Amino acid sequence: MTEPHATRGVRVPSGSRDWLLPLADPRARPLRGGGIRVVGISEVRKGYDWSGPAATHLLLGTIEGTGFFEAAGERRTLAPGNLVLTPAGIPRRHATRAAHWKFLAIRLADEARWQHLHARGCHALPGHWLKRIIAPIEGMLAEHPLGGAVDAHTQTSQPGGENPLEYLASRYADRFALAGEEEGQETPHPDAFQLHATILRSQLEGMLAGRGGSEPAEAGDEGVALASLWVRVRERPRGPWDSADLASALGVSRASLYRMVRRRHGTSPGKVVEGLRMEEARRLLSESPHSIEVIADQVGYASAFSFSAAFKRSVGEPPSRFRTGSAARGEA
């Protein structure tokens, strides 16, 4: 068998498509801050071939069809549900000889938090993990205007040709940043896109955490728990969602809840809930004909007065003026 590093380049047949997460979006900071550099779902045609040096750790899983993967002199067939991980530094190749192959690819930066992956070598991961990480990825794609499929550029490169990462950077620079970024504070009021990003990062950290790794699995579990809680608040903003209700939903004490939210968001649980309620209120004011009183009740306020005061404090203008402005902008 030809060694996977004998050729280097990209061959993407016409008719192939990519769905790449827009990691350049500021709300994707949980992923960039976690060393997650590229996340995408690709649907490729017969003749697809991707090979070259490995600057990043690669997580590769088959959603539909069949492909194969080569690394360290071994070839693995990737049938639906198969998921493999290859550490950085090992030349590799993945390709299809079938008519159709749909797969997930996640590239992790070769940095301290993922150093333990080197010791594991190329290995298979449990198939059910693939479903766990696809769900938040599809959620992020659905929440972003750049989330639609992009027709892949037809590209044939000879041995020694274009580096695969150069191919990505030259064609999809608006969607993700290959450069590193300092980990920053999460925004106090996460929207659905950021919630999915937090869930994805936490899932990956929990799945791939090593013994003695840079971040314990419990931290990832905390991120998943909080992200799931905020999804519930978004789905039912009327509540009730005081600190006791939030703590009960998580199965922790109120003191533990405050510590968790402070670590993750740098603010209080009440502020996060208010931000999520204001997000839903803006949507209702822009898209629905409901009165201010009805909207106030739908997002959990006892009166139109208390809602208006909270809305003005958060958004900077009264709800009636916001609705008028939305109509003028054609958002209603």
Supply the pLDDT for residue 306.
93
- In the chain, where the domains are located: 9-172, 192-271, 281-328
Residue 257 has a CB neighbour count (10 Å cut-off) of 21
Q: Which of 178, 284, 271 is nearest to 233 (CA)?
A: 271
Predicted TM-score (pTM) above 0.85: no
214 pLDDT tier (thresholds 50, 70, 90) = very low
* pLDDT above 80 for 217: no
Of 149-153, 158-162, 269-273, 287-291, the one with minimum mean pLDDT is: 158-162
Strands laid side by side in the 56-65 sheet: 123-125, 83-86, 56-65, 100-109, 36-45, 17-20, 150-151
Residue 36 to residue 325: CA distance in whole angstroms:
38
* pLDDT above 50 for 302: yes
* pLDDT above 60 for 272: yes
Phi, psi of 99 (to 5 degrees): -75, -20
Residue 325 to residue 293: CA distance in whole angstroms:
19
Beta bridge partners of 10: 50
**104-141 tens-digit pLDDT:** 999 999 998 898 888 878 888 888 888 888 888 988 88
Query: Do 78 and 62 touch, CB atoms closer than 8 A?
Result: yes
* pLDDT above 60 for 162: no
Mean pLDDT of 216-225: 57
Q: What share of the chain is helix, strand, coil (3-state, %, to 5)?
A: 45, 20, 35
Task: Mark out the alpha helices in the chain (DSSP H runs).
Answer: 29-32, 117-120, 128-142, 164-172, 192-208, 217-235, 243-250, 254-265, 269-287, 292-298, 304-315, 319-328
Query: Do 111 and 180 touch, CB atoms closer than 8 A?
Result: yes
* pLDDT above 60 for 159: no
CATH code, residues 281-328: 1.10.10.60
Mean pLDDT of 164-191: 56
**243-266 tens-digit pLDDT:** 988 988 887 888 989 998 888 888
**64-104 tens-digit pLDDT:** 999 999 987 889 999 999 999 999 998 899 999 788 999 99
**22-35 tens-digit pLDDT:** 888 888 888 888 89
CATH class of 9-172: mainly beta
Residue 6 to residue 49: CA distance in whole angstroms:
13
Residue 184 to residue 21: CA distance in whole angstroms:
19
Average pLDDT, the chain: 80
234 pLDDT tier (thresholds 50, 70, 90) = confident
Supply the pLDDT for residue 86.
92
Residue 269 region, left (φ>0) first, then alpha (ψ -120 to 50), else beta? alpha
